[in-house]
């Protein structure tokens, strides 16, 4: 039964991370979490830093951190184009903590709105990545 599954595809600039039919996927939209099931209403949304969760048989089978990107949802398919994506099990906690420290220092030293905005974004991504690694 095709209606019982939705095609899910996750693509980053480096590679195709996932392409398979799934029971459900939950993505971190900028307006909140979006649970995508078969026959979902057509939607295009931006993503915030967070974790994509793939479900099979009612349980999470994959957890993938995304820093940002876009998602296109149709009744048959969910395609995520992520700027950065990494399975949560592969997150390097020490490197991420170093990135967070550097980003916070850059935020404190920011001399323009552009510098401040870029540093705030890096802080948000690093904090979300650390949270994803924990859980």
1, pLDDT greater than 70: no
Q: Residue 135's pLDDT is what?
A: 72
Q: Residue 3's pLDDT is what?
A: 56
Over residues 29-53, the mean pLDDT reads 96
Q: How many CB atoms lie within 10 A of CB 39?
A: 9
Let me know: does 130 contact 49? Beta carbons within 8 Å.
no
The share of the chain scoring above pLDDT 70, in percent, equals 98
Give the residue among 82, 20, 7, 99 at the shortest CA–CA distance from 46.
Answer: 82
Q: Which residues contact 101 (CB under 8 A, 6 or more apart)?
A: none
Q: Residue 134's pLDDT is what?
A: 85
2, pLDDT greater than 60: no
Q: How far apart are CA 36 and CA 27, in angstroms?
A: 8
Q: Does the global pTM surpass 0.85? A: yes
Q: How far apart are the first and last CA of the chain?
A: 33
Burial of 2 (0-12, 13-18, 19+ CB in 10 A): exposed
Q: How far apart are CA 109 and CA 5, in angstroms?
A: 49
Over residues 79-84, the mean pLDDT reads 96
* Confidence category of residue 80, pLDDT binned at 50, 70, 90: very high
Q: How far apart are CA 28 and CA 68, in angstroms?
A: 9
The share of the chain scoring above pLDDT 90, in percent, equals 85
């Amino acid at each position: 039964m095709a209606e019982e599954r939705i095609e899910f595809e996750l693509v980053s600039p480096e590679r195709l991370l996932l392409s398979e039919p799934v029971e459900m996927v939950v993505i971190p939209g900028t307006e909140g979490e979006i649970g995508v099931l078969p026959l979902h209403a057509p939607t295009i949304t931006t993503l915030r830093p967070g974790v994509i969760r793939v479900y099979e048989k009612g349980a999470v089978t994959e957890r993938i951190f995304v820093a940002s990107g876009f998602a296109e949802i149709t009744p048959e398919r969910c395609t995520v184009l992520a700027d950065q994506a990494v399975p949560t099990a592969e997150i390097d906690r020490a490197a991420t903590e170093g990135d967070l420290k550097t980003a916070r220092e850059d935020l404190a030293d920011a001399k323009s709105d552009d510098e401040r905005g870029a540093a705030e974004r890096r802080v948000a991504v690093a904090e979300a990545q650390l949270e994803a690694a924990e859980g």
